[in-house]
Amino acid sequence: MARRIDGKAIAASLRAALSVRVAGLAYRPGLAVILVGKDPASSVYVRSKDRAAREVGIAAHSLNLPVDTSEAALLAEIAALNADPAIDGILVQLPLPGQIRAQAVIAAIHPTKDVDGFHPLNVARLANGEVGLVPCTPQGVMKLLAATGITLEGARAVVLGRSAIVGRPMAALLLAANATVTIAHSRTSDLPGECRRADILVAAMGRAEMVRGGWIAPGATVIDVGINRLADGRLVGDVAFAEAALVAGAITPVPGGVGPMTIACLLENTVVAAEARRENENREN
Ligand code: NDP
């Protein structure tokens, strides 16, 4: 039976360490979270980010803009936050309404305040193996792997999914940690075969319980990023957990695996951004 990787507990200890780190600062890091419209799922995410930030001592500023906000108005809000010395991190909750281009908005966030790590400069830094702000979900996966003591160097890692927010940055981080990385997607010809070669399998497709027990190599580490709501209301991952747990060496549950790590890493990025900005200012003065 696989070892269950407890993301909730690992995230709680990360948040506790962040509280201590924030308490030792001479200032309070500030995080601005912008929500356009009232999408129920996005509202839940924004509220939990807000609460988690306050709990570690970060000053959270939530901005809820009307659903018909123009792109120009949102860009003006971002320009004001870029210039605001009390704000260290800016996060725009995705998806955005159709009249607003997400890429234009992401590119407008100052790269030093881009706590989601989606700005083209931070994307390029990650791709080049340089230091920058890293997207929260894949960063959370790396922390889960580290906390579980999984060896990455030389391991065969397979990432299912190639989105800009999960799959691609996930693959870049595993590569930077010296794993041998395969990225699979909807046009991959033999998905089960690719999965069976994995020492570390990261599933981020958004396909309920698609990865079956028979796709997993005995002893492999399985990280399930997927969050899927079934017709009966149950929340499941991309991996058929019960089957997979019989074969895998270690596995994350859904919920309680990757999800809590994403928010913890957002808080960490905010603290990192705050510290880096103050250091730069001190150097310039
Ligand atoms: P996207 O829809 O942007 O990307 C999904 C990826 O999976 C695409 O690259 C797609 O391939 C691939 N894919 C879809 N169907 C298949 C299939 N049948 N076979 C092989 N590959 C497939 O999703 P995200 O990356 O944004 O999110 C993925 C999942 O992770 C979702 O369930 C989401 O809810 C969850 N998530 C969880 C987070 C957390 O904190 N736990 C945070 C962010 C996301 P192609 O490119 O060819 O279309």
Tens of pLDDT, residues 176-195: 999 999 999 999 999 999 99
Q: Write the CATH number for 105.
A: 3.40.50.10860
The reply to whether 103 belongs to the active site is no
The 8-class DSSP code of residue 128 comes to T
| 251 shares its domain with 157 | yes
Residue 5 in this model has a pLDDT that exceeds 90: yes
The reply to whether 148 falls in a domain is: yes
Residue 185 Cα: closest atom of ligand 1: 21
**What total of structural domains would you count in the chain?**
2
- Which of 116, 137, 185, 195 should be mutated for ligand 1, with most atoms under 8 A from CB? 185
The reply to whether 143 falls in a domain is: yes
Residue 285 in this model has a pLDDT that exceeds 80: no
- Closest protein CA for atom 48 of ligand 1: 186
| Catalytic annotation, pick one of 88, 114, 116, 238 | 116
Q: Which two tokens stand for residue 219?
A: 């002893």
Asked if 67 and 97 count as a contact pair (C-beta separation under 8 A), the reply is yes
The reply to whether 278 falls in a domain is: no
AA identity, residue 190:
D
Q: How confident is the model at residue 132 (pLDDT cuts 50, 70, 90)?
A: very high
Beta bridge partners of 228: 236
The reply to whether 62 falls in a domain is: yes
What was the pLDDT predicted at 261? 98
In degrees rounded to 5, what are phi and psi of residue 13? -70, -30
- Which of 141, 158, 186, 215 should be mutated for ligand 1, with most atoms under 8 A from CB? 186
- Closest protein CA for atom 8 of ligand 1: 161
| Residue 205 CA, ligand 1 centroid: distance in Å | 3
Angle at 138 between CA 74 and CA 11, to 5 degrees: 95
| 102 shares its domain with 147 | no
The reply to whether 116 belongs to the active site is yes
| Catalytic annotation, pick one of 88, 93, 113, 224 | 93
The reply to whether 3 falls in a domain is: no
- Closest protein CA for atom 17 of ligand 1: 186
- Which of 166, 183, 189, 252 should be mutated for ligand 1, with most atoms under 8 A from CB? 166
| Residue 204 CA, ligand 1 centroid: distance in Å | 5
Q: Write the CATH number for 225.
A: 3.40.50.720
The reply to whether 77 falls in a domain is: yes
| 53 shares its domain with 100 | yes
The reply to whether 125 falls in a domain is: no
Q: Could you read off the pLDDT of 140-152 as tens digits, one per residue?
A: 999 999 999 999 9
pTM: 0.97
Q: Give the closest residue to 239 by CA, choosing from 160, 180, 183, 174.
A: 160
To which H or E segment does residue 60 belong?
Answer: strand 59-65
Domain containing 180 equals 136-259
Beta bridge partners of 236: 228
Does the Cβ of 225 fall within 6 Å of ligand 1? Answer: yes
Residue 64 in this model has a pLDDT that exceeds 90: yes
Does the Cβ of 237 fall within 6 Å of ligand 1? Answer: no
Q: What share of the chain has pLDDT > 90, as a percent?
A: 96
| 99 shares its domain with 197 | no
Mean per-residue pLDDT, 97-104: 98
The reply to whether 49 belongs to the active site is yes
| Residue 238 CA, ligand 1 centroid: distance in Å | 9
What was the pLDDT predicted at 20? 98
Cβ neighbors of 92 (< 8 A, separation 6 or more) are: 34, 36, 74, 78, 102, 105, 106, 109, 116
Q: Detail the DSSP E strand segments found in 89-234.
A: 89-92, 156-160, 180-184, 200-203, 221-224, 228-229
AA identity, residue 233:
G
* Pairwise CA distance, residues 237 & 116, whole Å: 22
